[in-house]
Structure 1
């Protein structure tokens, strides 16, 4: 098993553990992917949503918080490569994709804005 497949499997375990509920369990709490912003979207089976984001300043090591929510997903779980035209609905709120940061192997963190 190569590095990429091991990273894919490990990321899958992490996302399944912390994922939002699926649409079958909680349709209102599930995460939906709206390609080009078109509703109703596709329910994502595995996605980790966080309403606020905290990162660490690499120069000072101090925590820097942001009010921007984030969504963590595996690229293979998305119906298309993320663009700023796509939208995400999480916990009943619609978000625009503000920034896309790939981890270089299997996952992506989407920085979101309401709207």
Structure 2
């Protein structure tokens, strides 16, 4: 483990404690909903890699620390944030132990197959 990795892990804990909020994961293959913690953004801004121009999206995002989860969320799983269920439509690892979960409000049909909290 490098010094950078150790510092990143310590910093991620501080970030989650300061900015994180409780969430509930509904993961395929898990009998029960799983409590978690993540940093939620109702609207997400992304930079287009080809142009460098910020692109504003109306897509909610939840950032979570992979080490805190008993299983890795995948597309089609669901998460409840602030009482609202969201379908996970994309999972993007950041290379430093965090996952950026791109969400779709409502959860759709796929999320309804997961148990409610």
TM-score normalised by L of structure 2: 0.78
> Which residue of the other structure, out of 34, 37, 40, is the alignment partner of 1:42?
34
Q: Distance in 2 between matches of 1:83 and 1:32?
A: 14
> Which residue of the other structure, out of 88, 95, 98, is the alignment partner of 1:104?
95
1:88 equivalent to 2:79? Answer yes
Instruction: Note the residue ranges of structure 2 that are not aligned, 5 or more in a row.
Output: 108-117
Spell out structure 1 runs of 4+ moving beyond 4 A. Answer: 37-40
Residues 62-100 of structure 1: CA deviation (Å, up to 9, x unaligned): 221111100001101112011123210001111111111
Identify which range, 71-80 or 6-15, moves more after superposition: 6-15
Q: 1:37 to 1:89 in 2, by over 3 A?
A: farther
SS at match of 1:8: helix
1:56, distance to aligned residue in structure 2 (A): 1.8
Q: Distance in 2 between matches of 1:38 and 1:81?
A: 11
1:33 matched residue in structure 2 = 25
2:6 matched residue in structure 1 = 5
TM-score normalised by L of structure 1: 0.79
1:27 matched residue in structure 2 = none
1:51, distance to aligned residue in structure 2 (A): 0.7
Q: 1:99 to 1:92 in 2, by over 3 A?
A: same
Aligned-pair Cα RMSD in Å: 2.1
Do the aligned residues in 1 keep the contact of 2:76 with 2:89 (CA within 8 Å)?
A: no
Instruction: Note the residue ranges of structure 1 that are not aligned, 5 or more in a row.
Output: 21-29
